[in-house]
Every structure is written in structure tokens, then in C-alpha cells.
Amino acid sequence: MFGAVVVGIGTAGWVRIRDMLAPLSGSPAEKLAVRGFISRSLDTQHGSEEDIHVAFICTDNISHEDSVRTFLQAGKHVCVEYPMTVSYKAAVELWDIAKEKGVILHEEHIELLTEDYKEGTLHFTGGALKPGFGFPAFSGIARLTWLVELFGELSVTAASMEENSGNYSKMTTSDVDRGTGPGLPRAKNINFQFESCTLTQIPPAPRGAVGLFMQDLIHFSAKLMGQVSPEELQREKIRILHCLELAEKIQQLCQN
């Protein structure tokens, strides 16, 4: 069994605890056991350091780096909500620490587990960003990842940021168009232009039988048990670092 501690008891943190307490029967997730949690709003509870092998980082985006670094340096496996960091350079350093310590570093990406994904221009909306989420290119990195997984490595040629009164903002790049503001629902719209056709709607997909966070928990647990090939681990690492590099480039272009 892998004893786990959850850092940050927001929505994602509670879901992590729930899924570990009731894992999918017969899956690698059964090998994880909750040993405690760390929260600013609740009294911290956890077992001894020897009882903890895994940390789930579910805090604000800008604090991910410090938390991940602390646990990696202590020789613990880490599962962190995306984005792993808001700095490409820092992410490279964290991967190096994980390799040196011989532990698993896993970035959650439930966006890639949706039925929509399984079955240009990408535009999506969402509520106003809270403090600690980082620049929109990082808080919205799931959409960059979507494109990279679909079409391979990308390059950014232009990016801009518009901010209006009322906490509305819009970030546009050659790849991604993102708008956020109070009252905007979460939505995803596409406009992929190919030589043979234009795709403007994602075909509807049935709801998956297994929850997204549970799917991610199973994938992470499989890594802990050595059930994921080194080749797949390397592909994930390359994709994550590439997307963080794109996000950093977008931020630089918007701020110049």
C-alpha cells in the first residue's frame, strides 16, 4: 500500500480523498490509502513521514512549485493538479529532482480523459480567475494540451491580452482564444480549418462510466506500481514541458 497525504482541501482535494476511500474495484487505485491532509482552513492531520509515500498537490497554481519540490526532495511520489508550475524552467528542475530521487511525478490532466477528447482555433469561456491561478496561458493550459495531443508540437507566432472593466478578459494567440469573466459558463468551441474541411463542433459523446478524477487516480497508481512503460512516461514528460513552454511564450508575447 502507498500511504497518501492530500495538500489543499478544496473541491479537487476532497475528490481525491473520496476516490481513495472508495477506489474502483480491481484497479491499481486500491493500492492507495489516505494517511492525512494538509489545509489552511482545517487542522492539519497526517501520519508519520514513514507512513507517507505519496502527496497529492491540490493548492493554488502559483504554490504548486514549492509544494511539489518539498515532497520530491523528501523522496515522495507526487500527483499535482495542472499546471505543474507557472514556469517552464521550474518544471524542468522538478523533473530532474524526481529522476534523481527515483520517484514518480505526475501531472493531472482530466481534460484528456473526457469522452469528448477520446472520440485551428479553440475558444472557451469560464468564470473570473481567482488569485493564485496564474497567467491565463497557464491556468488554461488544458486547452493547449488538447491541441498538442491532437496535432503534435505547436509553435506560437502571436498573442495578445485584452482586459475590460468588470473583470472580463480575453487572451488570443495563433492557437487559442480564451475569455473569462463573471457569469460566463464553462464552454468549449472549436474552429479547426483543414485543407479538406472545417470542423466547428465537437461531436457529442456519452458520459463515461468512470469519473475523470478516478481515471486519473488509476493512471497515477499504475505508474507507482511500474505498470506504465518508460516510453509512455517519457512521452508524457515531453508533452507537459512543451505545453508549459508554449504557455510561457504566450505570456511573454502578451506582456511585450
* pLDDT of amino acid 36: 92
Q: What is the DSSP letter of 49?
A: G
Q: Contacts from 62-65 at CB under 8 Å and sequence distance 24+?
A: 62/86, 62/132, 62/133, 62/134, 63/132, 65/90, 65/94
In the chain, what are the domains?
A: 2-110+210-225 (3.40.50.720), 116-205 (3.30.360.10)
pTM of the predicted structure, to 2 decimals: 0.73
Question: For 98-112, how does the pLDDT look when each residue is reduced to its tens digit (9 = 90+)?
Answer: 999 999 999 998 877
Write down the H helix ranges in 135-229.
Answer: 136-139, 141-151, 212-224
For residue 255, which of 160, 156, 137 has the smallest C-alpha distance?
Answer: 160
pLDDT, one tens digit per residue, over 211-223 is 899 999 999 999 9
- What's the pLDDT at 177? 47
Condensed to tens digits (0 to 9), the pLDDT of residues 63-90 reads 999 999 999 999 999 999 988 999 999 9
Full strand arrangement of the beta sheet holding 168-173: 159-164, 168-173, 176-180, 121-126, 187-193, 198-199
Q: Which residue has the higher pLDDT, 93 or 86?
A: 93
